[in-house]
């Protein structure tokens, strides 16, 4: 049984299949998830991920069940005095085993990626990562559908400018796997660890993409067809606001920076954006901005991913892709 906690959980062929299946299901609106129930559990706020995925599941005939994380992820019980063994409402193993008896899949947004790993350890149904502190693979699927819509099969150079965060990691991983020249530019203090860089280098050995670590945003822009931005302050880091912003001087994406890119360059951002901080209004609202197309694609790729994981894990994806190409 496959889960989707990070990009590497799917093979390149499976990623391609999910993207093609998403395209097909979005056009045909088949009820591929009829009589399917998916549990949604979100520890963090969500707009695009929650609403987009729920609309996708509803359109395909499935149902979504929302649950408070305190009821599912082993919330704490309040006592006048700590009581050993009774400070947890319920063990995570027990909650996920219970849900496995009723539902067909679990969609969870969590603070710690370790929570998802624990869910997978005990779950009898697929777990899908709606965002964790380390990965955001659903966003990467939507991003590459957007890139393919804009540039067809051309492997345009893509650079993420900002914080080495979960969105950047998943974007770079999927890009390398799919054969794109990927880049990153950001302050060293909030850049990649040696282990992360070794991981990207290793991916490049086995896939057709590449990775470049730029020291400056201007250097990155000159070499990029797509510039990707994200907030400098991720959820849960609000207390680091002033400290982090001081290090990101020179990494704001504005019109001057975008003009350094080759002609017909595009801007992408996973949203929410802090207008005037990591990116200016002029760039966000420019004709070359793909932000709302990305948002729509969050819904579209959910159709293919949930259908594949919940209904089609044992299919021959190579043969399925051929058929979908013919249908499309």
Q: What structural domains does the chain harbor?
A: 7-135+298-316 (3.40.50.1370), 139-293 (3.40.50.1370)
Nearest to residue 287, comparing CAs of 270, 307, 315, 266?
Answer: 266
For the stretch 138-194, pLDDT in tens is 999 999 999 999 999 999 999 999 999 999 999 999 999 999 999 999 999 999 999
The DSSP bridge partners found for residue 132 are none
pLDDT, mean of residues 33-62: 97
- List pLDDT tens digits, range 255-299: 999 999 988 899 999 999 999 999 999 999 999 999 999 999 999
Cβ-contact 293, 143 below 8 angstroms: no
Give the global pTM.
Answer: 0.94
Q: Cβ(131)–Cβ(44) under 8 Å?
A: yes
Q: How confident is the model at residue 229 (pLDDT cuts 50, 70, 90)?
A: very high
183 vs 261: CA distance, rounded Å: 13
* pLDDT of amino acid 84: 56
Residue-wise DSSP of 147-202 = HHHHHTT----EEEES---HHHHHHHHHHHHTT-EEEEE--GGGS--HHHHHHHHH
């Amino acid at each position: 049984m496959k889960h989707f906690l990070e990009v590497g959980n799917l093979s390149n062929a499976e990623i391609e299949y999910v993207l093609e299946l998403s395209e097909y299901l979005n056009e045909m609106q088949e009820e591929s998830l009829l009589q399917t129930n998916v549990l949604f559990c979100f520890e963090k706020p969500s707009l695009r991920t929650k609403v987009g995925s729920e609309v996708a599941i509803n359109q395909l005939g499935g149902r979504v069940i929302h649950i408070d994380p305190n009821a599912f992820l082993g919330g704490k019980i309040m006592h006048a005095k700590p009581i050993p063994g009774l400070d947890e409402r319920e063990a995570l193993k027990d909650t996920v085993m219970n849900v496995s008896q009723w539902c067909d899949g679990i969609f969870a947004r969590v603070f710690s990626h370790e929570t998802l790993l624990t869910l997978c350890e005990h779950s009898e149904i697929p777990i899908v990562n709606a965002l964790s502190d380390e990965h955001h693979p659903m966003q990467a699927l939507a991003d590459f559908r957007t890139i393919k819509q804009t540039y067809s099969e051309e492997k345009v150079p893509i650079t993420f400018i900002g914080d080495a965060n979960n969105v950047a990691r998943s974007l770079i991983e999927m890009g390398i796997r799919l054969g794109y020249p990927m880049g990153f530019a950001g302050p060293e203090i909030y850049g990649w660890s040696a282990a992360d860089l070794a991981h990207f280098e290793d991916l490049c050995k086995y896939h057709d993409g590449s990775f470049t670590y730029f020291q400056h945003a201007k250097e990155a822009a000159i070499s990029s067809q797509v510039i990707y931005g994200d907030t400098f302050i991720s959820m849960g880091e609000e207390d680091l606001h002033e400290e982090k912003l001081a290090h990101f001087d020179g990494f704001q994406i504005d019109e001057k920076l975008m003009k350094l890119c080759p002609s017909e360059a595009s801007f992408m951002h996973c949203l929410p954006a802090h207008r005037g901080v990591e990116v200016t209004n002029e760039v966000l609202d420019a004709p070359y901005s793909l932000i709302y197309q990305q948002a729509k694609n969050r819904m579209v790729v959910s159709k293919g991913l949930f259908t594949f994981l919940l209904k089609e894990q044992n299919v021959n994806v190579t043969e399925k892709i051929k058929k979908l190409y013919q249908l499309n």
